[in-house]
Amino acid sequence: MGWGRSIALVAMLCVGGCASPEAVRFSAQADQTAIVRDGSPAIISRKKTSIVLVKPASRQMEAGRRPVFVVAATNLTSQPMDLKIENITVGQELGDGTTRPLPVVTYDQLVTEERTRQVVGALLVGAAAAANSYSASRAGYGTIHGTAYTPHGISNVTMNYYDPTAAAIAQVNASSQNEALIAGVIERGQQNLATLENSVLKDNTVMPGEWIGGQVYFSPPQGEMGQPKHYAIAISLGGEVHTVEVTQEPIRR
């Protein structure tokens, strides 16, 4: 197996099915204002003691994937208040009038998932590197086929040979390629963990006048292909509940 095949083996983990793009729209309530931020819809919910802003983390979402929203809050009182992940809930409104919970995925859960992906990726990279090294170890071996003319007639000749120089060059190249492959996987894993650390919302105490925000992940809503899905994001803060009504639907071309 050559270097190209090793890359292809590793890439198999990174290739997924194509998902249909979907967009989000909000239904503003009496104490809410619909706005646009960076080209995406957003909602501002104002209560007596706090203001909450909710917007999708990207302009498009993919059907069947976890929705990601940015949730930010400010404290209008003179006392600190806690913004906790356990106080953010999401429920999908079903056609029969019932509500299906869409559990919020915490930062710790996302980190665990990322580390699991890194372990699986490391195993696959190890297999690819081993295959690459084995291929390089065989690079010095070869076979020559020819025809020999002798007083007794013509004979087909097969000769096996070993070229130590070719083998050494192939092994050096394989070692360099394997190191680059492993380093790339480690770097991507570190970048993914850093992104989660910097972007995902965690428990925070919101001081008076302070804005705190981050990304919130939750389980994907279910529904028929091509049909809109309705759910509500509820943020409890300072004894008040901000409920944001969301419709996630296919993008019409």
Q: Cα separation of 215 and 213, whole Å?
A: 7
What is the homologous superfamily of the domain 20-107+201-250 according to CATH? Answer: Immunoglobulins (2.60.40.10)
Report helix angle 3-11 to 164-199, nearest 10.
20
Contact 99/89 with Cβ under 8 angstroms?
no
**What digits encode the pLDDT tens for the residues 240-249?**
999 999 999 9
What is the rounded average pLDDT for all residues in the chain? Answer: 84
This prediction has a pTM of 0.72
What tens digit of pLDDT does each residue of 110-156 get? 999 988 888 877 777 777 777 777 676 766 677 777 776 767 777 77
pLDDT of residue 3: 46
Between CA 52 and CA 136 the distance in angstroms is 59
Q: Partners of 41 in the beta sheet?
A: 36
Mean of pLDDT values over 155-173: 72
Kindly tell me the burial class for residue 127, based on how many C-beta atoms sit within 10 Å of its own C-beta (0-12, 13-18, 19 or more).
middle
